[in-house]
Structure 1
Amino acid sequence: MNQNLILIADDDSDVRDLLSVTLEAAGYRALGAKDGNTAARILTVAKPVGMITDVRMPAMNGMELCQLARSNPAIRDMAILMVSGNSHAYDVNAGLGAGADGYLPKPLSPRDLVAQMQTLISKRHLGG
């Protein structure tokens, strides 16, 4: 796995840019994908240590992307953080059930995003 690379899968370019700047300020490298299919192709080549994915995207949604990542032995151990404007218990449980390690509601707090991503990566790296 690429130890400081995080993939950001979100169809909103402003969100991708904001998350990229936030993660890069925290010492990560960020790659962006405008939809789930693009993200899936990047995942298999780049093998990032983590991924942040929106739930609703064209071509392949975040739930499907999580399931795809978890079924691939080369990338299934990466940290996955799902973000969405929907924060009802049902939506959170569906995201976690699809394979996400964490779930943050939009609008995102940059500090919370970095803290959550660092924690998830550490847990995955330590095998827990």
Structure 2
Amino acid sequence: MTSDLILVAEDDSDIRELLTVTLESAGYRAVGAKDGHTAARILEVARPAGLITDIQMPAVNGLDLCRMARLNPANRDMAIVVMSANTHAYDADAGLDAGADRYLAKPLSPRRLIAEMRDLLAAR
């Protein structure tokens, strides 16, 4: 069982809740952020082990959030997963270029999400 903190940045409240509950059921501590601004503030104070972010969010999108996270040396080892309902190769490439470790297409499989996060955190 792990107690690593995972930040979930997702503007859709239903998806955000589903992801946080999924992570908590796997033994993680999870906190949700309704937008990129809120997520950026949480990153400054909480120092989560992982970040799961939607690419398409208003104002500060998931790509910008990844870039901001990676600029801070304290977050360089953070596991980052970007997700999007778009299945274009551009989104996956843009996420990886922005500093994400993995790209997942929505709808997410809870089992795959947990497996990916477990693998990323174990590699850190």
Report the TM-score, using the length of structure 1 for normalisation: 0.93
- 1:26 aligned partner: 26
Describe the SS at the equivalent of 1:51: strand
- 1:39 aligned partner: 39
Q: What is the distance in 1 between the residues matched to 2:4 and 2:101? A: 18
Letter in 2 for 1:58: P
Describe the SS at the equivalent of 1:56: coil
- 2:97 aligned partner: 97
- 2:116 aligned partner: 116
**Kept after mapping to 2: 8 A contact 1:44/1:74:** no
Q: CA deviation at 1:47?
A: 0.2
1:49-74: CA deviation from partner (whole Å, max 9, x where unpaired): 00000001112000000000000011
Q: CA deviation at 1:44?
A: 1.0
Aligned length: 122
Q: CA deviation at 1:122?
A: 1.3
Q: What is the distance in 2 between the residues matched to 1:83 and 1:90? A: 12
Give the superposed CA RMSD. 0.9
Q: Is 1:88 paired with 2:88?
A: yes
More displaced 10-residue stretch of structure 1: 83-92 or 26-35: 83-92
In structure 1, runs of 5+ residues without a counterpart are none
Report the TM-score, using the length of structure 2 for normalisation: 0.95
Q: What is the distance in 1 between the residues matched to 2:90 and 2:66? A: 17
In structure 2, runs of 5+ residues without a counterpart are none
Identity of aligned residues (%): 66
